[in-house]
Amino acid sequence: MTASHASAGTGCGDAYFAVFTDREDAAAAARSFAHPGARILKHPSGRPWLVGQWGDQEVVTANAGPASLAVVGCCPIDATELKRHAEHLRALTELDALARSLPGSFHLVAALGGGLRVQGTASGLRLVFHAAVDGVQVAASRADVLAEALGAEPDEERLAVRLLWPVPHPLLETSLWRDVAAVPPQDALMVASDGRTVRYSRWWTPPEPVRTLADGAPLVRQALTEAVDARTAQGGTVSCDLSGGLDSTSMCFLASQSPAKVVASTWPGRDPADTDLHWAELAAKHLPDVEHVVWDADASPLVYDNLLAIDDLLDEPTIGVMDRSRVLHHLPAMAERGSRLHLTGIGGDHVAWCSEAYYHRLARTRPLFALKQLRGFRALWQWPLGTTVRALTDSRPYGKWLADSSNHLRAPLPATVTTSLGWGMPPRLFDWVTPDAERMAQRALRGAAVTARPLHPDRGLHADLEQIRSGTRIIRQWDRMAAKAGVPMASPFLDDRVIEACLAVRPSERVSPWTYKPLLTEAMRGIVPEACLRRTNKAAASMDAADGLRRHRADLLALWEDSRLEHLGLVDGNVLRSLAQRPSTPGLRDAILYSTIAAEVWLRGLSPTPTRTRTRTR
């Protein structure tokens, strides 16, 4: 090995790497990735193993005899412990247990007997892609790295799929380049010693949700504590969001128990009904050693801010560009205060709460209990009785649901209860999407439906896993943007060990119309003061979104001038330009523009000038 560090650090959001087998032809292919400034880890033979960009505290490596291991990202394992695992490694499949035991968020890479194993996280926050480059299989943590080496162009049909709102499983997990394959998050990529043969090996399955709230809450507390410790044990200064919500408040109190100095950051909402500041200040009173910074609400960027200036090079479109300015705006000021890492409460909604879709099964297995709960949900969400009954009696398998969805892409948005109790929100396309793009999306949906399997047979757990994975697709891009802005971000709620601890608790005790986030409330009891645990809602920021549409109308209009999507024949630019001039159009409040804006901004990042041929990577 050419590099080894004492322990993995917090993880740098803009890190990336490609992985190569220990062969001469792979070494030749690696030259396409060795750009100026690239870092290289080598096989014992001296040939390149990992090539890319990462921080000094990003990688831990170890080798023993024929085995080499690397942990890339946030993990408290040190080189000595990793070497012990390398010494006992006899088969790459033996690493399943190690991958399922370590806290943090990281890639695990191994070489043994000429073969490779590369895996990311079950959450999807750290992904793995692979492609044949000069005849040999190369793995990478980003799809665009492989596409650039291939000189590949984004596939128009896959781009048309990304105009769907939302993009359903499994189509969201494909790369935008047909020659670049995406490894499912629950699988590890295995590359044989010939450097050409690949297979996927499943290393993760969700836990059975059998624990009671009383039994599960201490384990969630332990997992969250370890996740935060993995980022803060080094000390220094870290910053935290403190919105006043239970998720960010939990992060602040956990971080305050660490050796690190903590700076808490609060953006009050513009809406007079927004109570975030009240709850944030209440939490701050119980954190005397934490510096609390409250920003001017009117200085907070609105949704849709600065879309024309986004120049982040991303490997897929992301609706995260809509909130990019809001997410990053305070990071330079946190850097001035010495922050080396910014902790967020993002992911708490994804794991501490869960989908009401579990009640589709519970209505059959525990009908009396489910009926009582469903009455509460109907009152809370104003679900009509008839629509609720139809949703509960809909027992279509996932593939049939996906195929049926392809026939209704132009239909109105479905009722909330249909989405909540079903396999998810059926995808839709809108007036500005061309018939050609619709046909492409339909073809992809119908093709996927033939072999598609849900993420879990229980549609509740399927919905939870899909929400986690769709969320991490956004957050992994925010992490890259934040690192570029000067302070990497981390979201401990989305560490695999935290997700597992939450999913193991019975859904009947995780989601209820009568209590708000009961699992996280119980897990944080004794860490977060009782007064702060009493909050039972969260701010919606709908006023900020509506104001953003009006304020940035000119930018949206400019976005559709010389539209890349229009040049590709995927959207009708005239319809979009007309909509930009009417920001109060009722349908726009439902975020229906998000997927189209995401695709347009992404294409602009790939190619500064429009072209009537497919856009090339640079």
* CATH number reported for the structural domain that contains residue 330 in this entry: 3.40.50.620
Q: What is the DSSP letter of 494?
A: G
451 & 570 share domain: no
Cα separation, 71 vs 85, in Å, equals 12
Q: Last residue of some domain: 438, 457, 476?
A: 457
Claim to verify: residue 288 and residue 371 sit in the same structural domain: no
Whether 150 and 170 map to the same domain: the answer is yes
Three-state SS annotation for 132-165: EECCEEEEECCHHHHHHHHCCCCCHHHHHHCCCE
Q: Report, in angstroms and rounded to the nearest whole number, the Rg of the chain calculated over CA atoms.
A: 24
The parent domain of residue 344 ranges over 213-267+274-294+315-352+463-539
The CA-CA-CA angle for residues 200, 202, 204, to 5°, reads 145
The alpha carbon of 291 is separated from its chain's Cα centroid by a whole number of angstroms, namely: 29
Tokens of 215: 């039994």
Residue type, 551: R
Q: Please indicate, yes or no, whether residues 177 and 257 belong to a single structural domain of this protein.
A: no
Residue 5 maps to a domain = no
* Number of domains, the chain: 4
**Helix, strand, coil percent content, the chain, rounded in steps of 5:** 45, 15, 40
Residue 2 inside a domain? The answer is no
- Whether 39 and 157 map to the same domain: the answer is yes
Do 565 and 603 form a contact (C-beta atoms < 8 A)? yes
Judge if 472 and 598 occupy the same domain.
no
Half-sphere exposure of 374 (CA within 13 A, CB side): 26
Claim to verify: residue 556 and residue 426 sit in the same structural domain: no
- Is residue 382 assigned to a domain? yes
Q: Give the pLDDT confidence score for residue 2 in this predicted structure.
A: 36
346 domain residue, yes or no: yes
* 473 in the same domain as 325: yes
Residue 6 covered by a domain:
no
Pair 591, 530 in one domain = no
Nearest partner of 399 among 187, 200, 170, judged by Cα:
170
Residue 208, in any domain of the structure: no
Q: Look-up: residue for tokens 């992904």?
A: 127
In a domain, 99, yes or no: yes
Which secondary-structure segment (H or E) carries 117?
strand 115-119
The secondary structure of 301-351, three-state, reads: CCCCCCHHHCCCCCCCCCHHHHHHHHHHCCHHHHHHCCEEEEECCCCHHHH
| Residue type, position 264, single letter | A
Give the pLDDT of residue 66: 94
Helix (H, G, I), strand (E, B) or coil at 257: coil
Average pLDDT, consecutive stretches of 10 residues, N- to C-terminus, the chain (618 residues):
36 78 97 92 96 92 96 96 97 97 97 97 98 97 96 97 97 97 98 97 97 98 98 97 94 97 90 84 95 90 88 92 91 95 95 93 96 95 96 97 98 94 96 97 98 97 97 95 92 98 96 92 97 78 69 90 96 94 77 94 81 39
Is the sign of the CA dihedral 585, 475, 132, 171 positive or negative? negative
* Residue finishing a domain among 512, 539, 566: 539
Cβ contact 265:240 at 8 Å: yes
- Looking at the structure, tell me whether residues 549 and 477 fall in a common domain: no
Strand locations in 425-539, DSSP E?
A: 489-490
Q: Are residues 113 and 253 in the same domain?
A: no
Task: Single out the residue in 506, 523, 539 at which a domain terminates.
Answer: 539
Domain presence at residue 51: yes
Residues 179 and 280 in one domain: no
